[in-house]
Amino acid sequence: MEKIKYTDLLDYILLVLKIVRDRKPKFFVSLVSLMRVFNYNTSFGEIQEIGKYLETRGWINAIFILGDVRIQLTTSGVIYIEEKHIEIKEKYDKFIIEFRKEKTEEQLLVDVFSEQDTNEAKKPIFELIEKALVKMKEKGIDLDFTKDLEVIKVEVSKNFPDIRLIGIKLNRLASIPFLTTEITELKYYFSTPDSEIFS
């Protein structure tokens, strides 16, 4: 199945936010969950970029939390959708039929409303940490580096993790060449649009 065109993806996000706003005006949608509902496989870094882009355009309000970006349509976003509604809706309806054959639009919205658990948003972070720990064990890497990953794991499990400490640990782990992919992806999870904790 062909991947959704990027411009269409952004329009679908805004259209779903409009539908959500009409039903629950104060509700913030999980962008991570929305990507899952759309079967759009991407990195967390790209999800953050989508949130930043839509927020910069003035179409959404975004809250960047650990492991997720929560978004809500703004008045400018409503106007954009209303101006392009017919064009977007036709594409969106075809998309729903093609990509979500087993789901009606109503069932898709149920998925959007149900996937809002903050602990669920942390699950990919724990998976990346475990993957890095396995690689380190296979390579017989220094115990100190393993402890750094364990500290990150403990911090993530807290309600209010120390992001500065996590940043220090990740910067130290970035020196391990075979962990570049995992550490880079983990850094995305802990960075925010105005964050400067990572070198």
Question: What per-residue string of b and e applies to 13-26 under the rule 16 or more CB within 10 Å gives b?
Answer: bbbbbbbbbeeeee
Calpha distance 194→176 (Å, rounded) = 26
Whether residues 26 and 123 fall in one domain = no
198 within domain boundaries: no
Q: How many Å separate Cα 147 from the centre of its chain? A: 27
pLDDT 10s digits, 3-32:
778 888 999 899 889 988 988 888 889 898
Q: Which residue, of 70, 92, 114, is where some domain finishes?
A: 114
pLDDT 10s digits, 83-110:
988 888 788 777 766 655 555 566 666 6
Contact (CB, 8 A) for 69 and 35:
no
Residue 56 has a pLDDT of: 96
Identify the domain containing residue 70 by its residue range. Answer: 6-114
Neighbours of 54 (CB within 10 A): 23
What is the pTM for the complete model shown?
A: 0.68
If one compares 98 and 179, the residue with the highest pLDDT of the two is 179
Whether residues 90 and 122 fall in one domain = no
If one compares 119 and 34, the residue with the highest pLDDT of the two is 34
Residue 89, classed as helix, strand or coil, is helix
Alpha helix positions (H), 29-117:
31-37, 44-56, 75-99, 105-114
Whether residues 129 and 174 fall in one domain = yes
Residue 1 has a pLDDT of: 46
Q: How many Å separate Cα 192 from the centre of its chain? A: 12
| CB < 8 Å & 24+ apart, contacts of 78-86 | 78/18, 78/21, 80/14, 81/14, 81/15, 81/18, 84/11
Whether residues 84 and 137 fall in one domain = no
Q: Which residue, of 85, 114, 143, is where some domain finishes?
A: 114
Whether residues 83 and 30 fall in one domain = yes
Mean pLDDT over residues 34-59, rounded? 90
Asked which of 47-56, 105-114, 160-169, 175-184 is least confident by mean pLDDT, the reply is: 105-114
The enclosing H or E element of 136 equals: helix 118-139
Q: Residue 36 phi/psi, 5° resolution?
A: -65, -45
| CB < 8 Å & 24+ apart, contacts of 48-53 | 48/188, 48/191, 48/193, 50/9, 50/10, 50/13, 52/193, 53/10
Residue 79 has a pLDDT of: 94
Q: How many domains does the chain have?
A: 2
Q: Cα 131–190–197 angle (5° rounding)?
A: 120
If one compares 1 and 55, the residue with the highest pLDDT of the two is 55
